Amino acid sequence: MDKTTRHLLLIGAGHAHVHFLRQWAEKPCPGWRVTLISPYAHHTHSAMLPGYVAGHYTAAACQVGLAPLVKEAKVDWIQGQCVGLQTVKNQVEYTLATRPDGVPSKLHFDLLSIEAGSSIDRRRLEGQMPGATSYALSLRPIEVFVDLWPKVIELARQKPPSMVVIGSGVVAAEMVFAAEQSMRLYGVNGARFSLVTGPGEWLPGVREDVRQRLMAQLRARHISLIHATCTAIGDEALELGSQAALTCDVPILAMDSQAPLWLQNSGLALSSNGHALTTPQQRSTDGENVFVVGEASARQDQPDNREAANSLEARETLAHNIWATLAGHPLKKHAPSGSGSRAISCGTGYAIAGWGRWTIEGGLAWWWKNRQDQAIMQSYRNPMRQPKPKAPKPSRLAG
C-alpha cells in the first residue's frame, strides 16, 4: 500500500456507519483506506426488536449482514471491539470478538468516527441490583438478546413464566407488550407480565394523553404496572424497594444504558453522563479528526436532549461530514427534528403515536411505524450503484 494512504477508522456499525459504508461503496475517496471495527456479524435495527419478540419479524428481517457491505465498500472489517482510545496518539485498542479477553491490539488512525452505541456497565449494574448480571436478560448487546429470545420461548412452552420488564422508558413498555403477545402467539397460557418502572417519572418525554392510553392498553392485556425500584434479582423473584418480592422467572432489563466506558480517559471531552461531546457537525468538541454519533455522543449545545443524538436522524450529516473532511469541503450542521413523534407499539398491529396536538392509536399508527422501519431496512439492502471515484481537493487531514 502507498505510504501516503491515510486511514479512516469506523468504530461500530449502527445506522450512520452502515449508511456511510453504502455511500463509500458508491463514492470512495482516493488516498484513503477504511477499517471498520465492530463485534457482531450484523447491524440490527433496534426499533424492530419489539416486533421480533412479538413474533412478527424474523431475526433476518431486523438485521443487515456486514460481510457483503464491507466487501462492496472495499473496507477492512475487524470483527472485534474497541476497548481503549488515546486521541493524543491517534490510536485505538481493540480485542477480537473470538478472544474478548485477549491482549488488546493497537491501530492508528488519521480520522476516526465513533458509533459504538451504549453499553451496560456490569459492575455498576450489579452494585445497584445484585443478581442482575446472573439472572436477568439484558436488551444490550441487542444481538445477544436476539439469539437468546428463542430459548426463552422454548422454556416458556414447558412452563408458563412470570415475565417482568424493568425500565421506565418507551422501550420497556414496548417490550412488555411484545412479550405478552409472543406468549399468546406460541399458545403459552397462564404466563404473567409486569412492568417495573422504578421510582422516577414513568415514560419521560411522553405526552400525558399518550401515557394514559398506554396505561389503558396495559390494563386491557392484564399487564401489571408497578412503580417501584427493583433492588435485587434472584432466580425466582425480584426484590422491590418496598421490601416486597415479585415472582419472576424471566427478568428483562430495559433500562437506560451507559456511554462506552472506554471513552473515559480517551482525551475526548465528555458530558456529565460520560457521552462524547460534539458540535452540531457531529465532530468531537476536542478534536477535528474525531466524529461521534448516536448514543455514545451528546451535543454540546443540548447535552440533555437524547433525541439530538439519534444516529438514524444524524446519519446523512455524518456521512456527508466525513467525506467533506477528506475532500476539504465545508461541513453541514445536523438539525435534530425534535418531533418526538415516535409511534409506540403495543404489540403487532397496534401502536400509539402523538403528532403535535393529535394522537393516533391503533392499526394505522402501527402500519406507519412498520412501513418506516421496513423502508429503512430496504434502503440498506437495495443494490448499490457502481463506484464513481472523484479526486478530492487536498485538505489539511488529507496531508
Ligand X SMILES: Cc1cc2nc3c(=O)[nH]c(=O)nc-3n(C[C@H](O)[C@H](O)[C@H](O)COP(=O)(O)OP(=O)(O)OC[C@H]3O[C@@H](n4cnc5c(N)ncnc54)[C@H](O)[C@@H]3O)c2cc1C
Instruction: Summarize as ranges the residues that interact with ligand X (CB under 6 A).
Output: 11-15, 37-40, 43, 46-47, 49-50, 81-82, 115-117, 119, 139, 142, 171, 260, 294-296, 310-311, 342
Comparing C-alpha atoms, which of 136, 152, 177, 145 is closest to residue 59? 145
Indicate the residue among 47 and 238 with the shorter CB distance to ligand X: 47
Q: How far is the CB of 50 from ligand X (least distance, A)?
A: 6
Does residue 392 contact residue 328 with C-beta atoms inside 8 Å? yes
Give DSSP secondary structure letters for 331-360.
PPPP-------PPEESSTT-EEEEETTEEE
Indicate the residue among 13 and 270 with the shorter CB distance to ligand X: 13
Q: How far is the CB of 296 from ligand X (least distance, A)?
A: 6
Comparing C-alpha atoms, which of 192, 180, 179 is closest to residue 248? 192
Indicate the residue among 94 and 239 with the shorter CB distance to ligand X: 94
Reduced 3-state DSSP string for 104-147: CEEEECCEEEECCCCECCHHHHHHHCCCHHHHCEECCCHHHHHH
Q: How far is the CB of 93 from ligand X (least distance, A)?
A: 10
Indicate the residue among 31 and 274 with the shorter CB distance to ligand X: 274
Q: Which helix (H) or strand (E) holds 8?
A: strand 6-11
Indicate the residue among 45 and 192 with the shorter CB distance to ligand X: 45
Q: Which residue has the cell 436478560?
A: 137
* Amino acid at position 281, single letter: Q
Widest CA span in the chain: 67
Q: How far is the CB of 151 from ligand X (least distance, A)?
A: 18
Q: In this structure, what C-alpha cell is assigned to residue 141?
A: 448487546
Q: How far is the CB of 42 from ligand X (least distance, A)?
A: 8
Q: How far is the CB of 39 from ligand X (least distance, A)?
A: 5
Indicate the residue among 115 and 249 with the shorter CB distance to ligand X: 115
Q: How far is the CB of 61 from ligand X (least distance, A)?
A: 15
Q: How far is the CB of 373 from ligand X (least distance, A)?
A: 8
Cβ count within 10 A of residue 32: 20
Does residue 330 contact residue 324 with C-beta atoms inside 8 Å? yes
Q: In this structure, what C-alpha cell is assigned to residue 245?
A: 418480592
Angle at Cα 356 formed by Cα 214 and Cα 306, nearest 5°? 75
Q: How far is the CB of 30 from ligand X (least distance, A)?
A: 27
d(CA 258, CA 130): 18
Indicate the residue among 13 and 223 with the shorter CB distance to ligand X: 13
Indicate the residue among 90 and 398 with the shorter CB distance to ligand X: 90
* Amino acid at position 273, single letter: N
Q: Which long-range contacts (CB under 8 A, 24 or more apart) does 368-376 make?
A: 368/343, 369/47, 369/343, 369/345, 370/51, 373/45, 373/47, 373/48, 373/51, 376/15, 376/45, 376/312
Indicate the residue among 40 and 57 with the shorter CB distance to ligand X: 40
